[in-house]
């Protein structure tokens, strides 16, 4: 991650327990909201994506960094391979959801299927569990 910092992709950051709790609270809120009946698949996917992004931000912050400059979401997602050692396939899957969410948020409605929204929700919930367990084991002072 020090190379990423040299490139200007990350900045140093001192996380606090309150910040970590707040990020998890945002993730939990968005995961709960993604289950509201009647929401479009695009909105469900977007909420679940944001939940997963907040959880990824927890891991990055716990390691002493924050994403900087352009491509903040991408860098936060890619950092999971370095923080919690998330496997490459899962990182690529998360990035694919990032691209899908960008299209539905900025270009056109109706691009996410219900299956994709459900898959993103499952991914976000699983990632939350992984990051929480990793945090408990590696950064107990922030829990």
pLDDT at 1 over 90: no
| pLDDT tens digit sequence for 41-100 | 999 999 999 999 999 999 999 999 999 878 899 999 999 999 999 999 999 999 999 999
Within the chain, residue ranges assigned H as helices are 2-6, 17-33, 41-62, 72-78, 80-83, 88-106, 114-138
pLDDT at 104 over 80: yes
Domain count within the chain? 1
Query: What local confidence, expressed as pLDDT, does residue 106 receive?
Result: 85
Print the domain residue range for 35.
16-142
Model confidence, pTM: 0.94
Query: What local confidence, expressed as pLDDT, does residue 8 receive?
Result: 84
The proportion of the chain whose per-residue pLDDT surpasses 70, expressed as a percent, equals 100
What is the DSSP secondary structure assignment for residue 109, as one 8-state letter? S
């Amino acid at each position: 991650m020090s190379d990423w910092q040299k490139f200007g992709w990350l900045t140093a950051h001192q996380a606090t327990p309150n910040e970590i709790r707040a990020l998890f609270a945002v993730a939990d809120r968005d995961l709960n909201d993604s289950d509201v009946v009647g929401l479009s698949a695009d909105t469900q996917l977007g909420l679940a994506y944001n939940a997963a992004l907040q959880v990824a931000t927890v891991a990055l912050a716990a390691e002493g960094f924050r994403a900087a400059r352009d491509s903040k979401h991408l860098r936060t997602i890619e950092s999971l391979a370095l923080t919690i050692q998330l496997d490459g396939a899962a990182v690529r899957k998360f990035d694919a959801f990032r691209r899908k969410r960008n299209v539905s948020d900025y270009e056109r409605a109706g691009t996410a299927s219900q299956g994709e929204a459900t898959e993103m929700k499952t991914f976000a919930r699983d990632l939350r569990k992984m990051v929480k367990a990793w945090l408990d084991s590696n950064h107990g002072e922030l829990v």
